[in-house]
A and B are shown apart, each in its own frame.
Chain A
Amino acid sequence: MKLLYVKAKNFKNCIEGYTIDLVAKSRKTAEDKEYELQEIAPDLYVYNTMAFIGKNASGKTSALELLDACYSILGDFRLEDKHYDYDGVELEIVFYHAGFIYKYECLLSTDISLSNQAIFKEEKLYRKKYYKSRIHELYEDSSFEKMDEYGTLPEDISKVFFVLEKKSTRAIYFESFGNGAETYRMIFKALKNYSIDTLVLENIMRIFDDNIEHLQSLDEHNYRLVFNGEEKYLSDSQLIYILSSGTTKGLLLYTLMVASLKEGFDLLVDEVENHFHKTLVENMISLYKDKSVNKKNASLIFTTHYCEVLDQMGRQDNIWICKSGKHVSLSNMYEDYQIRTELLKSKQYYNNAFQTAVNYEELMSLKRKLKE
């Protein structure tokens, strides 16, 4: 299963018809096919990496949250415990699965109980056989056939269940604010659930802090740490004081990255550069592009303020520019801009080619006030 396209209405503060297309559109060179793209069916290419850029409060997180909502529906057939209102949200999700293209439409509402669950209403499922000769009409409504009703489900379970049948991790969303002391429990849960060797964790720990020799979970909240040759028994809240919050966050992110690459699910990361050395971000992107590592077609989808990261991306159609106004909207670097390929994307970003520059006048206004 691979998500190809999503269109939303009434989702957070997003503009009506807010759309994210995950299928490669522009010309695909042989080098792109090796590093930038993954072929999920003949001639059907999606991205190994995809980025959302933009100013603060431009809706970058909303883009990831929308994708996370889709992956929750496709993976768990549910939508629950999200931080936004489900009422009135309309979704159109197109995905590829086992030789077919599926289109799923639904209207969400909030469960009347106190649980934070979405109810699926007005659900419609369509499908068509995938033919590479008809790739240009991938999303065309007339080419889909409505699927028969298979039966009824509880209202908090999506009918996508009838297609995908088995729950599976389709993506993990890594939020920027972190999980504090809970992070360690999540790291060890990820190691267990995705059968990752503890030696991999030790390797990750040394990348972030070579003073950490060993970290062992004793129970959900207590750990044995060998740090700089000294053995310590610590609770999770004590541990976070010894290992920095950046290291703690990094350990989880890199563990989830290993799981994603191993299992082939996508990883959504809000503010990928947050707390990290540039090299660690570059290394993550590089691993997703290396087919000898990324053997199961996982994708890394991230938001960033750090536009130098864009220079690592060989294409433009996998870069989305988020913009705020009355509503937040998205533009695609390939479809919506005439950008000069000979210039670095980061240079063009700083030159305000995508209207993402910080307001200079406001910066100077603050400086004037500070000079008074």
Chain B
Amino acid sequence: MKRLIMCEGANELEIVRILLANNRLIFGEDELLGLTPYHARQITGNGQVRTELNIYPGNDVLIMRIGDAQKERLKIPEDYKGKIIGIEKYCTKPELEMLFLIAEDKVAEFEKNKSTVKPKDFAKMHISLGRKKYDNSTKFYKDYFGDRVDILVQAILEYKRIKSSHKKEELYLADLIDLK
């Protein structure tokens, strides 16, 4: 089986890349379609994902979507239907920035304001690394978590503990963490 990881945004992709590079996932690069995770919302619009599906001769691809709410339905083009054995959703709702809020112990403060401010905007106001404020850039994720993968893993696990109300089909990033 090959896993096709489709990250909704560049920041989700960076998180997966950090976890992969540090062997903190339940799978390694060799198990991934094309040996890498992808930034792709849909298969149709992403030539790279389509190419990798074309190149791979097997019919056992498990799609793992990673994103916040993932309300958009994933459309599988007819040509690839025979190749896909399943689709899993790993949610980071309401927004990926929850990981920063958990890492900085700011969840309680955010909860008091969550009716008026989104996690992304709250993070922009309260999260910084040295003098650099959070700016929704992929570089910030890399700089913040790249060398502190334990903090990232702890935030991912804690997210599942406090956000245990996902729908049945919505899995957690924590479910991908290798706990051994």
Contact = CB atoms under 8 A, between A and B. Distances in A.
A and B are interacting partners = yes
Interface of A: 30-31, 33-36, 278-279, 282-283, 285-286, 289-290, 292, 311-314
Tell which of A33, A36, A282, A286 has the most Cβ of chain B within 10 Å: A286
26 contacts: A30-B9, A30-B10, A30-B39, A31-B39, A31-B41, A31-B45, A31-B46, A34-B10, A34-B13, A35-B48, A278-B54, A282-B54, A282-B55, A285-B51, A286-B52, A286-B55, A289-B47, A289-B51, A290-B34, A290-B36, A290-B48, A292-B36, A312-B48, A312-B51, A314-B47, A314-B48
A33 B41 CA distance: 14
B48 A283 contact: no
Nearest to A342: B44
Tell which of A35, A278, A285, A311 has the most Cβ of chain B within 10 Å: A35
Nearest to B42: A31
Contact of A289 (B13, B41, B48, B54): B48
Contacts of A282: 51, 54-55
A313 B39 contact: no
B55 A313 contact: no
Contact of B47 (A33, A279, A292, A312): A312
A335 B17 CA distance: 36
B52 A34 contact: no
Given A30-B10, A286-B34, A311 B41 contact: no
Nearest to B48: A35
B40 interface: yes
B123 to A, nearest CB: 19
A34 B47 contact: no
B120 to A, nearest CB: 15
Tell which of A30, A311, A312, A314 has the most Cβ of chain B within 10 Å: A30
A35 B49 CA distance: 10
Contacts of B160: none
Interface of B: 9-10, 13, 34, 36, 39-41, 45-48, 50-52, 54-55
**A-B complex: 9 closest residue pairs judged by Cβ atoms:** A314-B47, A35-B48, A312-B47, A286-B51, A34-B39, A312-B51, A282-B51, A289-B48, A30-B10
Contacts of A286: 34, 48, 51-52, 55
Given A282-B55, A286-B48, A289-B48, 19 more contacts: A30-B9, A31-B41, A35-B39, A35-B46, A35-B48, A36-B47, A278-B54, A285-B51, A286-B34, A286-B55, A289-B51, A311-B47, A311-B50, A312-B48, A312-B50, A313-B47, A314-B45, A314-B46, A314-B47
A311 B10 CA distance: 23
A278 B51 CA distance: 11
A190 B77 CA distance: 41
Contact of B55 (A30, A33, A279, A314): A279
Nearest to B35: A292
Nearest to B11: A30
B55 A283 contact: yes
A37 B51 CA distance: 16
A287 to B, nearest CB: 10
A278 B55 CA distance: 9
Contacts of B48: 35, 286, 289-290, 312, 314
